[in-house]
Amino acid sequence: MNLPNKLTIFRVILIVPFVIIMLTDFCGDAGKWIALSLFVIASLTDLLDGKIARKYNLITNFGKFMDPLADKLLVSAAMICLVEMGKIPSWIVIIIISREFIISGFRLIASDNGVVIAASYWGKFKTVFQMAMIILMIVDIEAIAPITNLVMWAALILTVVSLVDYLAKNKDVMKEQK
């Protein structure tokens, strides 16, 4: 259980208080800012665990499996909370989460065929815009609502573009092996 794996587990654990604070009045007026802090900390652990794992050659099978799963859990939980709060349409969240399931399944098939599908730049841009969208929606400042909407649409477009990019670049993965 190395440091990157501990950071990944910490990120998963942070989801619980984040969701509780987002969906209850547990912390009163400060709740939004506490939830925002938890989300930002969890997001930063994603950046940090990967850098540490690569720099010190601490890449493990556990990390390869749990790191992307922890990311998907964090982002999905945040977006589902935002749907519950009426801040994002559910159909957008369905598209974003569906893309994650499709890519995960695609990577599983590729792995079974001995192919590793690395994260693309489109996927990285998608992640940045999704995180920014979630942060802006948690902050919920009326004066920047047009920016929040623009970032939401950019996140949705990048989600679809990154999906098409993954499928196009790796279409051979779906061919039956003989």
Mean pLDDT taken over the chain: 92
Task: Count the helix, strand and coil residues of the chain and give each as a percent rounded to the nearest 5.
Answer: 85, 0, 15
Q: Is the dihedral of CA 106, 77, 75, 93 positive or negative?
A: positive
Q: What is the mean pLDDT of residues 139-156?
A: 97
Query: Where residue 111 falls among pLDDT bands split at 50, 70, 90?
Result: confident
The pLDDT assigned to 9 comes to 96
DSSP 27: T
Query: Where residue 136 falls among pLDDT bands split at 50, 70, 90?
Result: very high
| pTM (predicted TM-score) | 0.91
Q: How far apart are CA 131 and CA 127, in angstroms?
A: 6
CB atoms within 10 A of CB 126: 26
Higher pLDDT, residue 28 or 129? 129
Q: How far apart are CA 105 and CA 107, in angstroms?
A: 5
The pLDDT assigned to 112 comes to 81
Residue 31 contacts residue 21 (beta carbons within 8 Å): yes
Residue 99 contacts residue 86 (beta carbons within 8 Å): no
The pLDDT assigned to 176 comes to 62
Residue carrying the six token digits 């007026």: 29
For the stretch 2-44, pLDDT in tens is 999 999 999 999 999 999 999 999 888 899 999 999 999 999 9
The pLDDT assigned to 110 comes to 83
The backbone torsions φ and ψ at residue 24, rounded to the nearest 5 degrees and listed phi first, read -130, 175
Q: What is the DSSP string of 50-116?
A: HHHHHHTT---HHHHHHHHHHHHHHHHHHHHHHHHTTSS-HHHHHHHHHHHHHHHHHHHHHHHTT--
